[in-house]
A and B are shown apart, each in its own frame.
Chain A
Amino acid sequence: MSTKIGVITFPGSLDDRDALRAVGLAGAEPVSLWHADANLRGVDAVILPGGFSYGDYLRAGAIARFAPVMEPLMRAAAEGMPVLGICNGFQILCEAHLLPGALIRNQHMHFRTRDLWLRVENHRTAWTSSYEPGQEIQVVLKSGEGRYVADARTLDELEAEGRVVFRYLGENPNGSQRDIAGVCNAAGNVVGLMPHPEHAVEALTGPSTDGLGVFTSVLAHLARVSSGTSTATAGAASR
């Protein structure tokens, strides 16, 4: 039985089709989920894609957080199901308090669209295990509210526990504190990042194919879980 990975479409999602395509290229069975679904249709992992859910009204992700599908998602995430939030999906996960911090307007006020480089700071999460420690990957960023902020204590905790998963290399594109591009929860099953790995999975359309590793990582993680050989993938630096 093939591994099923769901991608939630909210009203205003843009990158759901690309995320589904990336899932398929990685070798999993893509499953479309709808924001009004009452259950997760038996998937093994869930991706919240980029876009402008509910028009970004109030704050990016603030209204999507209360979508019906978020209830079973919150329960599944607490039980260890891998969940990935990309761009708007990252904003939704922060609004839902599945990830710490918040994403606010870019420091320079401009919407930023560019290819850029990230360093994979934690290769032990459910979504990064296919990467080498410290591997540098080229992906796409396209966001206007991508500036990651949290209070100093939270930032220190994230750093100490190895929960900064991706960091911007070179010029900081949006003013994110400590150049943070992505973080994970304490257990390492929930990851969010502003740049778009699903746009870097094919040479024809992306700057690289480096993003594919995110999707193959979760397949490898799920295979380890089902064979019972998984150790918790927490970011804990003490591990």
Chain B
Amino acid sequence: MARVVVDVMLKPEILDPQGEAIVNALPRLGVTGVSSVRVGKRIEIEFDGEPDLDQAREIADKLLANPVIEDFTVRVEQEESVQP
């Protein structure tokens, strides 16, 4: 069964306070040299039959992402790439 993956990210111009909080926590792990972290969402959609990219795009545009503040990408995840 193929799965459609939607990635949702805040637009570049929108401040991401979650990402900033992570950057600020990194030195506590001993990590330096990271200038930016941004947090998004990954949504996995499984269709009953063949994956419908157009429908997935519509779902992403109407519900999963808010186009005022977020961008999204839609792709089919192939079976072989499911397991690393």
Seen from chain A, the residues whose Cβ lies within 8 Å of a Cβ on chain B are 58-59, 62-63, 66, 94-95, 100-102, 104-109, 149-151, 175
The interface residues of chain B lying within 8 Å CB-to-CB of A59 are 66
Question: Which of B60-78 touch A at CB < 8 Å?
Answer: 63-64, 66, 68-69
Query: Does B15 interact with chain A (Cβ within 8 Å)?
Result: yes
Q: Are A66 and B68 in contact (CB under 8 A)?
A: no
Q: B17's contact among A58, A101, A107, by CB below 8 Å, is which?
A: A107
The interface residues of chain A lying within 8 Å CB-to-CB of B21 are 109
Q: Are B66 and A107 in contact (CB under 8 A)?
A: no
Q: Which residue of B lies closest to A154 (CB)?
A: B68
Q: Are B69 and A105 in contact (CB under 8 A)?
A: no
Q: B69's contact among A58, A66, A102, A106, by CB below 8 Å, is which?
A: A102
Instruction: Please name 16 further chain A to chain B contacts, defined as beta carbons within 8 Å, in addition to the given A58-B64, A102-B66, A104-B10, sorted by A numbering.
Output: A58-B63, A62-B63, A62-B66, A66-B63, A100-B68, A102-B69, A104-B14, A105-B18, A106-B17, A107-B15, A107-B17, A108-B17, A109-B17, A109-B21, A149-B68, A150-B68
B14 vs chain A, min Cβ distance (A): 6
Q: Which residue of A lies closest to B41 (CB)?
A: A58
Q: Are A109 and B15 in contact (CB under 8 A)?
A: no
The interface residues of chain B lying within 8 Å CB-to-CB of A106 are 17
Q: Contacts A58-B63, A66-B63; is A105 near B68 (CB within 8 Å)?
A: no
- A150–B21 Cα gap in the complex (Å)? 22
The interface residues of chain B lying within 8 Å CB-to-CB of A63 are 63
Q: How many contacting A-B pairs (Cβ < 8 A)?
A: 32
The interface residues of chain A lying within 8 Å CB-to-CB of B10 are 104
Chain B: interface size category: 10 to 19
Question: Which of B1-51 touch A at CB < 8 Å?
Answer: 10, 13-15, 17-18, 21
- A151–B69 Cα gap in the complex (Å)? 9
The interface residues of chain A lying within 8 Å CB-to-CB of B15 are 107, 175
B73 vs chain A, min Cβ distance (A): 17
Q: Are B63 and A149 in contact (CB under 8 A)?
A: no
Q: Which residue of A lies closest to B62 (CB)?
A: A66
B53 vs chain A, min Cβ distance (A): 21
The interface residues of chain B lying within 8 Å CB-to-CB of A175 are 15
- A175–B21 Cα gap in the complex (Å)? 15
The interface residues of chain A lying within 8 Å CB-to-CB of B68 are 94, 100-102, 149-150
- A104–B21 Cα gap in the complex (Å)? 15
Q: Which residue of A lies closest to B39 (CB)?
A: A105
Please give me the 3 A-B residue pairs with the lowest Cβ-Cβ distance, nearest first: A102-B68, A102-B69, A109-B17
Q: Which residue of A lies closest to B11 (CB)?
A: A151
A236 vs chain B, min Cβ distance (A): 23
Q: Which residue of A lies closest to B16 (CB)?
A: A105
- A102–B10 Cα gap in the complex (Å)? 12
- A58–B70 Cα gap in the complex (Å)? 12
